[in-house]
Amino acid sequence: MNVLDKFRYSKDDPSQLNINLDNYSKKKRYEENENLSRLLSTSVKVSSEIFPIISKAIDNVFLRLKIKNNFTFFVTANHFETQAMCSAMPLSDSAEIIITSKLIDLLNPEELESIIAHEVAHFYYQHSLYPNPVSAKERLEHLNLLYFSRAAEISADRVGFLGCANLEYSLRAMLKISSGLNDKHLKFNFSSYLDQLRELQDHKGDKFAIYSTHPNFLNRMQALIWFSMSKEYNEEFKTGKKGVYSLQDVDKKIDESIQRVTGDELTISNKEIFSRTLMWGSLSIFLADKKFTKKEQEIFKKNFGEKSTVSILSLIKISKKEIIEEKINNAFLNASKLLLDDKKRLQKELEKLLKVADGETSLIKNSLDNLIKKLKI
């Protein structure tokens, strides 16, 4: 296993979006790549003859990451934005990385190595396969996709650190890009910046952060410091330190810290949809034989409360079958946007009802199978 796979942030898991990278094979890019043609026309291609310092930084990154350099690098004139970006067709075997002139002016070569490795990581992890949050048709799907976009940045930051092999340079790069200032104006007292993060969290975070594709720079700095303190990192790179946390604990701490900034709306929304779908799924299974027995009603009341049970009984009494089926279908349509782990957990809860539901087993099993299909696991 490559070290990049070993240290991928656990929340950056494409399987949760039903993306299985093993089902894809890298394919060569089309010869007529319009983006490449445009870059060759408008930007300057990096070579050791033209940009020896940048070229050396690129070589250092791939030497440390121990992966093949299938990238073409470009410098583009932009005196306003400190940006670098990876441009690649999904599943291709090569990519372009574009770096703005302002970013190069701002960073020293070692800091630049961190940014280069960060962009390489996006291609290595095939983050371009993640659906764009703007493509979401519903709010929950939109928030979940933004969550994964933020998680992808944590993975890429780790590779940025590994690519420059120096925690301070990685943190300095983040701080310079966030502030837009160079060494002349900055003092790199990182504990002071983390004090700012604690102050932000004490103010109950930033209500707009949940709509961001990136964690804020304070969360990212903290996440990288915690990663450098993991037992697995220190063991892998033989730093002479034992490490303080397991990587699993680090990932949990990072997730909780980011949530303290973004708020818990996403968690609450996912839980509400999970609970609502479990309720309607339970009703569907209990009504598989067109009966809702006293025993099943007691189970339903135990799981969902008396108020919900009374409402459901009233609905059954006054509504047509089609109305109830529509409510069940709507609940499962929303649940199909949940993450894979939540959908599997929902499936397990529904499967438990096979043992307690009255009626013919084949009818109950058929109802369950239909519900599972709706989840799109």
pLDDT tens digits for 135-174? Answer: 998 898 999 999 999 999 999 999 999 999 999 999 999 9
pTM for this model (two decimals): 0.89
pLDDT tens digits for 208-264? Answer: 999 999 999 999 999 999 999 999 999 999 999 999 999 999 999 999 999 999 999
Longest CA span, the chain: 82
pLDDT tens digits for 58-110? Answer: 999 999 999 999 999 999 999 899 999 998 766 677 899 999 999 999 999 99
Return the residue matching tokens 């969550």.
Answer: 147
pLDDT of residue 33: 65
Q: What is the CA radius of gyration of the chain?
A: 25
Per-position DSSP letters for 232-301, written without gaps between them: HHHHHTT-S---SB-HHHHHHHHHHHHHHHH-SHHHHHHHHHHHHHHHHHHHHHHGGGS---HHHHHHHH
Query: What's the whole-number mean pLDDT along residues 21-32?
Result: 53
Return the residue matching tokens 């020896």.
Answer: 52
pLDDT tens digits for 66-76? Answer: 999 999 999 99
Residue 31 predicted with pLDDT over 60: no
Query: What average pLDDT does the chain have?
Result: 92
